[in-house]
A and B are shown apart, each in its own frame.
Chain A
Amino acid sequence: MSAAPQSSAASLRLRVAVVAIESARIKRLAMLVAAAGHEVAAFGQAADAVLTDGRAEALGAPVVAMGAVEGEFAGFLPEEAGPAQVDAALRAVAAGLTVGPLERRKDGFWALPEASAPLLTPREVEVLAALADGLSNKAAARRLGISPHTVKFHTEQLFRKLGANCRTEAVAKGFRKQIVEF
């Protein structure tokens, strides 16, 4: 791969309006905007995005809400989000995407997973755990005391059973719903 030139999107400075009720909050949000490398829009000035503590009304620009978990916002950030997350969220909403922390997606009351096909063998589970730890076939073989060839065989079985095309996908699919804590 050739070295890509500095992307213009990555260096783009956004103009961000800050909306909160208390002046201390406004100050804190403005500091985050600055730390994220963006410009705080003056009152009444057009903005590319809005950072708020959750009390913003319609403002004509996509809104990232900090500390809010619901509402008609394009983005949601936890109260403790740092400049890097604020930067990522502001860029994303300015580009027309929605943003939320991962845990929001866990919503819903789920049943225990059933022991449904395709079930893995104990050895396949061990190999999957080695993949999850980022081990190479060789390192996995050393850990499990089997040959790299056997690891490769189990890995292929895992890909087939889980319908995965790569190690990351196998790990994601293999561990997603199957593990239960008792």
Chain B
Amino acid sequence: MPDIAQDAFNQFSAALAERVAAARGLVAGIRMRGHSPRSGTLWRKDVVVASEQALPDVVEAEVTLADGGVFPARVAGRDPGTNVAALRLDGTPEPAPQPAAEPLPGALVLALAANGSDGVAARLGAVHSVGPVWHSRAGGRIDRRIALDIRLDRYEEGGPVIDPAGGLLGISTLGPRRRVLVIPAATVERVLNPLLTTGRVARGWLGAAVQPVLVPDALHSAAGQPLGLMVIGITKDGPAAQAGVLMGDILVAVDGAGVGSPSQLAELLGPEAVSRQVQLRLVRAGNILVLAATVGARPAR
């Protein structure tokens, strides 16, 4: 008769519960008047991060740490680009998360969240896929594309995702069709200081709506590439308008770097691009045209 109490399955289960217990200090429940509770992650002393898209448009909140303690909190900043919101608290302990190992497809992770009544909810699943840097529709740059094979309830979004060694991979985020993504710790770190000091993350802005198009065959060599971004909307008095960009122009390069897809343009319009002088290379009426523009800052939502 094998010893069931000590077999691998039992040990595995006990180890999971131990990991959850060890990481529960990171789990924050966020309560707001008139809204159902959400989850967050105690990221630094006195700072909780949450999912921006899940956080109602409020200023005041109350944070309950799973390890104990209720703190009044203020939403200090929101970045729809990376889906990170920062809340400022006073008097929390210093969290001590381990850095996560490189995520690998198939590796197990735990997605933790506040369970709505001061405790911890945990989900176990595999890393579904890991991809390179990507850009969100709101223009944010996210260091890795990490998708999980886990389902999350809406209120669980924004909690910590923990790797098998207990390392903090990042915060959970609901993507298209409720697939669960991870906003990596490096991305959260990168946007957190601007969020806490200015309330937002500045991003480059041209004031143009674009759509990827095929560059006409005859202009491939002049344009330097087969794809471009056709301007189909221009914000009045925005940077593109001031530079003389017209509807129908096809943007093919910025400062010599080809832009054949929205993400290539997003890559060139990060926070560092604000106020920068750039050369826009355009196809207009069958000719190549270069216009000088000053990149603006993307207006707040």
Contacts and interface: CB of A to CB of B under 8 A. Distances in A.
A120 interface: yes
B174 A107 contact: yes
Nearest to B266: A112
A147 to B, nearest CB: 19
B154 A109 contact: no
Interface residues of A, number: 24
B148 interface: no
A39 interface: no
Contacts of B175: 108-111
Contacts of A115: 212, 227, 260-262
Contacts, number: 104
Contacts of B204: 182
Interface of A: 70-71, 107-115, 119-122, 124-126, 129, 178-182
Contacts of B36: 70-71
B181 interface: yes
> Which 6 interchain pairs have the tightest Cβ spacing?
A115-B212, A115-B261, A180-B262, A112-B262, A110-B137, A112-B135
Interface string B206-249: 11111111101000000000010010110000000000000010
A120 B181 contact: no
Contacts of A129: 232
Given A125-B213, A181-B209, A182-B206, A111 B53 contact: no
Contacts of B250: 122
Given A109-B181, A112-B136, A70 B213 contact: no
B134 interface: yes
Contacts of B136: 109-112
Given A109-B53, A121-B214, A179 B232 contact: yes
